[in-house]
Amino acid sequence: MFITIRHDSYGEISYDENFWSGKKAVFIGGKELVKERKNVFLYDTGDRVIRVTAKGSYWFGAHLEIEGNNVVISRKPTWYEILFSALIYGLMSAWGNSPYLCSIVPVVGGAVGGLIWGVMIVVNLWAMREMDSIPKKLAAWLGILVATFVLSFLAALVVRAGA
């Protein structure tokens, strides 16, 4: 994830975090900071060298500590964003483990279902973070829940056809 913010004191700050490895890179004023340690970077202002510490992650709130200043890069997800994301997994898992419900509308479970649900949980977290109002967040969650259900149903049909 690549994020660029504007800060009053430091100007343009960019933060790059690899989705798979979690490796981070920090840019201030378009110039990449030199990595000293895993999450510690050196910012050379010309007059002096300042340590910049990256804390957190994009998904659970990232911020930089620069000379005692806390610069927020990405906010933490709210409790209801986490709850609704977990509800996707809980509802799909409950449906997939109920023989009665699966006799009405089958959904795939197991590793394939878990993969589908996990991807949709990440999509939901991302979508809800991008929305600015609670009704929009709820609409996004509902749409993603329906999409998860449809994908799980289609996967179940493919599994049944192959059996």
pLDDT digits (tens, 9 = 90+) for 60-73: 889 999 988 899 99
- What's the pTM? 0.78
pLDDT given for residue 121 in this prediction: 96
pLDDT at 163 over 70: no
Q: Give 21's Cβ-side CA count (13 Å radius).
A: 6
Instruction: For 60-99, give one letter per residue: b (16+ CB within 10 A) or e.
Output: eebbbebeeeebebbeebeeebeebbeebbeebeebbeee
102 in Cβ contact with 108 (< 8 Å): no
pLDDT given for residue 109 in this prediction: 87
Q: Give percent of the chain with pLDDT exceeding 70.
A: 99
pLDDT at 22 over 70: yes
Tell me the average pLDDT across 10-33: 89
Tell me the average pLDDT across 49-68: 90
Q: Which whole-number Å values give the CA distances from 141 to 122, 126, 146, in the listed order?
A: 11, 11, 9
Reported as a single tens digit per residue, the pLDDT across 93-127 is 999 999 999 999 999 988 999 999 999 999 999 99
Tell me the average pLDDT across 121-140: 94
Mean pLDDT of the chain: 91
